A and B are shown apart, each in its own frame.
Chain A
Amino acid sequence: MEFNAMEASAKECLAYYQAKLDEEAWEAKKNGKLVCWSASVAPPEFCVAMDIAMVYPETHAAGAGARKASMDLLEVADEKGYNIDICSYARTNLGYMELLKQEAMTGQKPEKLANSKAAYVPLPDLVITCNNICNTLLKWYENLAKELNIPCIIIDVPFNHTMPVSRHNKEYIADQYRAAIKQLEEITGRAFDYDKFFAVQEQVQRSVFWWNKVATYAQRKPSPLNGFDLFNYMALIVCARARDYAEITFHKFADELEAKDAAGQYAFGAAENEKHRVTWEGIAVWTYLGATFKGLKNQGAVMTGSAYPGLWSLVYTPGDLESMAEAYTNVYINTCGPNRYEEFYKVVKNSKSDGIVLHLNRSCKLMGLLNNEGAEYVNAKLGVPYVSFDGDQTDPRVFTPAQYETRVQALTEMMDENQ
């Protein structure tokens, strides 16, 4: 049946386009075109300009986690000898890659792959990675390239020890963009399509505009947007910002949220159901989305603040490589403490949050590293209480519902006291 984007809801678009991206990857494989596995905040503009189909391991792993399918894949990684201290996105993906590799080598689908609820995606012909969000991505992708004997494009992004982003950092990154272009020309055997590149950059700007617009709805009080929904829609800003799928879906979502607000319909229905507003710091606990969402909902707490969507606020001037370089390096976890605390403070303030929930994510040391200091900074300025809980993005062995519920309940009692 033909999909009618005009008539479909944002939710339907989200499901449709996510599936479509995977289908396109398979089509590409079938037609002898290239498939690239990419880090979530690596620039897709270069590959998409060269008509390469993009697949995103982090989103794939998150989806596997949400469908309770990550444990099987983690076990494959465990059996291969990958240490459980490694990020669970990496382990989930390396486990999945191992299964695909076995299938490719034997022509038979291994049982875990056949039974997996994770999305079925093809192996890559090249990988592109960027360490603007962490350094595990460097070794993870180098490992993929080595295991599969394929090229690896690396965009090495220095940490911003001071802000604003320095000139030499921008130049360094822009130079790597130029090197990536050369690398792609070698890999594809074609000249780089600069016209398409410019068009893709413009598309990315439109996608980012609508993504940022959607995120602003959570700043309204009461909020028509439940922040946990942003975790779901995030898939398209990651996987499709260089295409119009993200723009179409987010534009639709923004219109729906605007209509909800006008009709007095909010995240928990009636306005009075929003008893508290919280900022969630860190990645979602994909394997326990229901438990973490309900734990807050049962206390009447809407998640209105998150620094996470801002990772894809990749605003830059199309045609200007250094501007693009600045955008891809200026993600808050790639900046020094003072800048990071200030960004976190803005999130809490703008979302009008009365409490903060810190996800101490075992897989992501970079995101968890400054949790306490950031919360202390915000607490000192705004008097907003905070709690911390142990969890993991895709490894279900690291989260305990009872621990989470106790801390969220304690936070609610502190927020009640403040009111």
Chain B
Amino acid sequence: MYTLGIDIGSASSKAVILKDGTDVVASAVVQVGTGTSGPGRVLEEVFKDVDLTQEDMDYTVATGYGRFSVENADKQLSEITCHAKGIFHLVPSARTIIDIGGQDAKAIQIDAKGNIQKFVMNDKCAAGTGRFLDVMSRVLEVPLDQMGKVHFQAKEWAQVSSTCTVFAESEVISQLSKGLPRESIVAGVHQSVASKACALAYRIGIRNDVVMCGGVAQNAGVVDAIEKELKQSIIVAPHPQITGALGAALMAYEELMKANK
């Protein structure tokens, strides 16, 4: 039995094909999100290297902001449920999930059965999300995928104190012009993201294991900053950007099992 999970976010589109509710046979990520060519392209991508088509999918669940615009989805579920499901499958000891995406950051508390107890998301502000890092990467002239590496070159971390992404950009420009080392500012930027993510986590309570997912989890610098903020180590989910799509595919499998009873 094949199930398909599609996660259309603000900044990227993800898809996972799951076999019998356990084996990931294919996954794909396209770096553009809802309202673009992303959703269409990610479907092409995910089926590209496997001997399967969308007709072979027994059940499809769509999640993320763009979940209602996915054609042929059997069901739409919130990204909160899907991330929780995906993470719990990958890391059954997970109890606190920190997900940082393109414009959303969330902290989810799950129980020993993987059920969501509570969650909080960023309130009307994209500072502390992927968007913040996009802006900073441009200003610092450090490619996004290099930010993590540069972070560990810092001897000291600069202070990026502005809450607002736009004001923080000005702050960073000012620090650059004062001659602060680029790597210090990169680390400071990561610390700013970490403090916002951890503020969300503190609101729901930290329970181990703490697992991070979402595109931003691929940035080892942000992970390092979060660990320093929480004063403990955290687990980064394997393939952190697709945990939502994986969760969607898992939920799709559960729907199939329910229907077959």
Q: Is A386 positioned at the interface, with any CB of B under 8 Å from its CB? A: yes
User: B65–A406 contact, CB under 8 A?
Assistant: yes
Main secondary structure of the interface of A (DSSP, over half): helix
| Contact (Cβ within 8 A) A398 B124 | yes
Known contacts being A372-B203, A390-B124, A398-B124, is A409 close to B118, with CB within 8 Å? no
- A402 and B65 in contact, given A360-B123, A390-B123, A390-B124 (Cβ under 8 angstroms): yes
Measured between beta carbons, the chain B residues less than 8 angstroms from A403 are 124
Q: Is the CB of A385 within 8 A of B77?
A: no
Closest B residue to A412 using CB positions = B78
Known A372-B203, A390-B124, A417-B115; contact A410-B81, beta-carbon cutoff 8 A: yes
Give A362 to B125 CA distance when docked, in angstroms.
13
A379 on the interface (CB 8 Å rule)? yes
Given contacts A372-B203, A386-B118, are A406 and B78 in contact (CB under 8 A)?
yes
Tell me if A407 counts as interface (CB < 8 A to partner B): yes
Cβ-Cβ contact count across A and B, 8 Å cutoff: 43
Please, how many angstroms separate the alpha-carbon atoms of A360 and B122 in the complex? 12
A388 within 8 A of B: yes
Q: Which of A355-395 contact B (CB under 8 A)?
A: 360, 362, 372, 379, 385-388, 390
CA distance in complex: A379, B118 (Å): 9
- B65 contacts which chain A residues (CB < 8 A)? 402, 406
Assess whether A414 is interfacial by the CB under 8 Å rule. yes
A407 touches B123 (CB 8 A): no
Chain A nearest Cβ from B86, distance in angstroms: 14
**Closest residue on chain B to residue A387 by CB atoms:** B119
Question: Within 8 Å of chain B (Cβ to Cβ): is A413?
Answer: yes
A190-213 at interface with B (beta carbon < 8 Å): none
- Does any Cβ of A come within 8 Å of B116's Cβ? yes
Q: Which residues of chain B are within 8 angstroms of A400 by Cβ–Cβ distance?
A: 124
Residues in B neighbouring A386, C-beta threshold 8 A: 118
Within 8 A of A (CB), among B58-117: 65, 76-81, 115-117
Tell me the smallest distance from the CB of A110 to a CB of chain B, in Å.
Answer: 32
Complex alpha-carbon distance, A2 and B119, angstroms: 55
Chain B hits for A379, CB < 8 A? 118
Q: Is B26 in the interface zone, CB < 8 Å from A? A: no
Chain A's closest residue to B116 (CB) is: A414
Residue of B nearest to A409 (CB): B78
B116 and A417 within 8 A (CB): yes
Contact B124 A406 (CB under 8 A): no
Query: For residue A362, which residues in chain B have a CB less than 8 angstroms away from its CB?
Result: 124
Cβ of B120 under 8 Å from chain A: yes
Interface assignment of B121: CB less than 8 Å from any CB of chain A: yes
Please measure, in the bound complex, the distance between the C-alpha atom of A22 and the C-alpha atom of B81, giving whole angstroms: 49
Q: How far is B179's CA from A213's CA once the two chains are assembled, in angstroms?
A: 69
Knowing A406-B78, A410-B78, A410-B80, say if A388 contacts B118 (CB, 8 Å). Answer: no
B73 to chain A, nearest CB (A): 14
Pick the contact of A407 from B116, B121, B124 — CB < 8 Å?
B121
With CB as the reference atom, state the residue of chain B lying closest to A417. B115
How far, in angstroms, from A400 to B10 measured CA to CA in the complex? 14
B24-67 contact mask (Cβ, 8 Å, vs A): 1 or 0: 00000000000000000000000000000000000000000100
Query: If the complex has contacts A385-B118, A402-B65, A406-B65, are A413 and B78 also in contact, measured as CB distance less than 8 A?
Result: yes
A385 CA to B80 CA in the complex, in Å? 13
Residues of A within 8 A of B203 (CB): 372
Chain B residues whose CB sits within 8 angstroms of the CB of A372 once the complex forms:
203
Complex Cα gap A409–B120 (Å): 14
What separation, in Å, do the CA atoms of A402 and B9 have in the docked complex?
Answer: 12
Which residues on the A side are within 8 Å of B77 (C-beta)? 409, 413
Note all chain A residues with C-beta closer than 8 A to B119: 387, 410
Asked if residues A406 and B79 are in contact (CB atoms below 8 Å), the reply is yes
Shortest distance in angstroms between B54's beta carbon and chain A's nearest beta carbon?
A: 24
Q: How far is the CB of B188 from chain A (nearest CB, A)?
A: 28
Cα–Cα distance between A133 and B79 once the two chains are bound (Å): 37
Tell me the complex Cα distance, A367–B77, Å. 30
Interface pairs (15), CB distance under 8 Å: A360-B123, A385-B116, A386-B118, A387-B119, A400-B124, A403-B124, A407-B78, A409-B76, A409-B78, A410-B78, A410-B116, A410-B119, A413-B78, A414-B116, A417-B116
Given A385-B117, A410-B116, A414-B81, 14 other A-B residues pairs in contact with their CB atoms under 8 A: A362-B124, A385-B116, A385-B118, A386-B118, A403-B124, A406-B78, A407-B78, A409-B77, A409-B78, A410-B81, A413-B77, A413-B80, A414-B116, A417-B116
Q: Which 5 A-B pairs have the closest CB atoms?
A: A410-B78, A410-B80, A390-B124, A409-B78, A413-B81
